[in-house]
Amino acid sequence: MTDVTGTRTSDTITIGGDLTVRRLGFGAMRITGPGIWGDPPDLDEAIRVLRRAVDLGVNLIDTADSYGPQVSERLIAAALAPYPEGLVVATKGGLLRDGPNQWRPDGRPEHLRAACEGSLQRLRVETIPIYQLHRPDPTVPLAESIGALVDLHDEGKIHHLGISNVTEDQLDEATRLAPMVSVQNRYSRVDRSSQALLDRCERDGRAFLPWAPLESGRIARDPVIGQIAQAHHATPHQVAIAWLLARSPAIVPIPGTGSIAHLEENMGAAHLDLSSEELAALEASERP
Residues annotated catalytic, as ranges: 67
Phi, psi of 15, deg, nearest 5: -100, 130
Rg (CA), the chain: 18
2, 268 in Cβ contact below 8 A? yes
What one-character DSSP code corresponds to residue 135? S
What one-character DSSP code corresponds to residue 165? S
d(CA 107, CA 54): 32
Paired strand residues for 14: 20
- Among residues 170, 105, 104, the alpha carbon closest in space to that of 143 is found at 170
| Pairing outcome for strands 104-105 and 95-96 | antiparallel
d(CA 34, CA 27): 16
d(CA 89, CA 87): 6
Q: Is 24 exposed, middle or buried (0-12, 13-18, 19+ CB in 10 A)?
A: buried
171, 227 in Cβ contact below 8 A? no
What's at 142, amino acid-wise?
L
Paired strand residues for 60: 88
